[in-house]
Amino acid sequence: MPTPDTGSTGSGTGNKRRRTGRHSSTGVDVFQDGSEEEDDDDDPEEDPTPTMPEEDEEGDLRFYNPNQDPEKRRRLRATLRDHSRMVEENRDEMVKPNNLLLDALKKQDSIFGKVRQTADAALDSRFLVNASELAGKKLNSSLQGNAGVGIDLDQFVSKCIFFMKSGGHAADDEEAPAVPVPEDEDDAGDDGLDWALLGRQACFPCNKRPPTISFLLGPLSVEKREMKEGDMQQSENSNLSNLVKSINVRLRSHIEKVDEKVSEELSEIPDEEVQNEDVAAASRRHRAAVAPSQELAVSLLDFAINPHDFGQTVENLFYISFLVREGNAKIMKDEDGLPLLMPAKAHEMSDAREANIQKNQAVLSIDYTTWKMFIQAFDIKEPLIPHRENEEANVAPGGWYAG
Verify that 157 and 125 share a domain, yes or no.
no
Verify that 260 and 325 share a domain, yes or no.
yes
Q: How confident is the model at residue 144 (pLDDT cuts 50, 70, 90)?
A: low
Segments forming the whole domain that contains residue 119: 28-145
In the chain the first and final C-alpha atoms are separated, in Å, by 96
The answer to whether residue 198 sits within a structural domain is yes
Verify that 37 and 62 share a domain, yes or no.
yes
Q: Which residue has the higher pLDDT, 145 or 18?
A: 145
> For residues 219 and 239, what is the distance between their CA atoms, to the nearest angstrom?
25
User: Where is average pLDDT lowest: 73-77, 265-269, 330-334, 382-386?
Assistant: 265-269
Indicate if the pLDDT at residue 237 is higher than 90: no
Q: How many domains does the chain have?
A: 3
The answer to whether residue 231 sits within a structural domain is no
pTM of the model: 0.41
Verify that 165 and 266 share a domain, yes or no.
no
Instruction: Report CA Rg, the chain.
Output: 42
- The pLDDT of residue 191 is 57
- The pLDDT of residue 4 is 45
Verify that 371 and 257 share a domain, yes or no.
yes
The tens digit of pLDDT for each residue in 303-344 reads: 999 999 999 999 999 999 988 888 888 888 888 888 999 888
The answer to whether residue 396 sits within a structural domain is no
The answer to whether residue 222 sits within a structural domain is no
Average pLDDT, the chain: 74
The tens digit of pLDDT for each residue in 250-294 reads: 999 999 998 888 888 888 777 777 777 888 888 888 888 888 888
Using a CB cutoff of 8 Å and minimum separation of 24, what contacts does 130-136 make?
130/84, 130/87, 130/88, 131/87, 131/101, 131/104, 131/105, 134/87, 134/91, 134/94, 134/95, 134/101, 135/101
